[in-house]
Amino acid sequence: MKHLISAFQFLTIFPLGKPQELDASKTTACFPLVGLGIGLILLLADHLLSMLWPVSVVSLLDITLLAILSGGLHLDGLGDTADGLFSHKSPERALAIMRDSRIGAMGLLAILFVLAIKWASLQGVVAHRSLYLLIIPAYSRGAMMFGIKFLDYGRPEGGVGTDFFSRKPPMIALTSILLPGCISLWIGYPAIWLNGLFILLTALILIYFKTRLGCITGDMLGAMAEVEEACLFLVACASPPIFS
């Protein structure tokens, strides 16, 4: 339980008492559980808001709630990562740009595009809407486990993700991603598309990070979560017509 609390304290704004001592190898395995917790709040809010407003407004409020629950942590990482990776600078210079607290044009555009994709996609999610709202935050946060496991940390001098890379999680810890995978089976055939995209997208992002910088940082983990979330909402929007 203390590892789950540590994960919630790191990934959300929930006040859960004094910070727990962090055992990164065990706390990392709780990331999908944190995502399910966020997803549960999201689906309940979506149900209540739907009694008052049309789906376009509700979808916008859902995306706003997602950002608030994570304290903007992943969106901040997305902006910094986009500024660094798309600067066409050397890996060393790109990492330095990510450290800059100011946001550049590429960072701003990345945040706007990702939020726009989420909003537009969520408006089109009708079938199994509650299930998608529950499991997609779990997938996106679970994806970060793979970045921590398979890539080296790019800030040996210290950074936000230092504790998580000090002791990489064992392979068995990554199996916690099977929890949202099992829940997705209730969706039916579209779960094939959802899980297939998650596996492919996670692999492609890690390959790109490895090729571009040879490492990963806390900001890049946040960017990974945001991109995964947007793409999974996109496939959730597309999958019902495909299988109808």
Query: Phi and psi for 151 in degrees, rounded to 5?
Result: -120, 150
Determine what percent of the chain is predicted with pLDDT higher than 70: 92
Q: Quick one: 171 exposed, middle or buried, by C-beta within 10 A (0-12, 13-18, 19+)? A: exposed
Within the chain, where are the H helices? 2-11, 24-27, 31-49, 55-69, 73-85, 91-99, 105-123, 129-150, 162-166, 178-183, 190-212, 218-243
Cβ(39)–Cβ(134) below 8 Å? yes
* 79 has pLDDT over 60: yes
Q: 188-237 pLDDT, tens per residue?
A: 888 998 999 999 999 999 999 999 999 999 999 999 999 999 999 999 98
* CA separation for the pair 203, 122 (Å, rounded): 24
Amino acid at 169: P
* 43 has pLDDT over 90: yes
Q: What is the pLDDT of residue 18?
A: 66
Bridge partner list, 216: 153
* 127 has pLDDT over 80: yes
* 244 has pLDDT over 60: no
Amino acid at 133: L
* CA separation for the pair 136, 38 (Å, rounded): 10
* CA separation for the pair 146, 55 (Å, rounded): 34
Average pLDDT of the segment spanning 44-62:
96
Query: Phi and psi for 216 in degrees, rounded to 5?
Result: -145, 155
* 130 has pLDDT over 70: yes
Q: Quick one: 101 exposed, middle or buried, by C-beta within 10 A (0-12, 13-18, 19+)? A: exposed
- Find where tokens 């555009």 sit: 109
Q: Which residues contact 237 (CB under 8 A, 6 or more apart)?
A: 120, 121, 122, 123, 124, 125
Q: 9-36 pLDDT, tens per residue?
A: 889 998 776 655 667 778 899 999 999 9
Q: Token pair for residue 44?
A: 């309940």
Q: What is the pLDDT of residue 149?
A: 92
Q: Token pair for residue 139?
A: 């997938």
Angle between helices 190-212 and 129-150 (to 10 degrees): 30
